[in-house]
A and B are shown apart, each in its own frame.
Chain A
Amino acid sequence: SQTIHQWPATLVQPVGSPLSLECTVEGTSNPNLYWYRQAAGRGLQLLFYSVGIGQISSEVPQNLSASRPQDRQFILSSKKLLLSDSGFYLCAWSAQINQPQHFGDGTRLSIL
Chain B
Amino acid sequence: KQEVTQIPAALSVPEGENLVLNCSFTDSAIYNLQWFRQDPGKGLTSLLLIQSSQREQTSGRLNASLDKSSGRSTLYIAASQPGDSATYLCAVTPSETSYDKVIFGPGTSLSVIP
Q: Distance in Å from the Cβ of B88 to the closest Cβ of chain A? A: 13
Given contacts A32-B99, A42-B106, A46-B101, contact A106 B46 (CB under 8 A): no
Residue tally, chain B, CB below 8 Å to A = 26
- A101 in contact with B100 (CB, 8 Å): no
Does chain B have a CB within 8 A of A97? yes
Give the bracket for the number of chain A residues in contact with chain B.
20 to 34
Chain A contacts for B77, CB-based, 8 A: none
**Complex Cα distance A106/B93, Å?**
22
Residue numbers of B with Cβ under 8 A of A are 4, 31-32, 34, 36, 41-46, 49, 51, 89, 91, 93, 96-97, 99-102, 104-107
Residue numbers of A with Cβ under 8 A of B are 6, 32, 34, 41-44, 46, 49, 57, 59, 88, 90, 92, 94, 96-106, 108
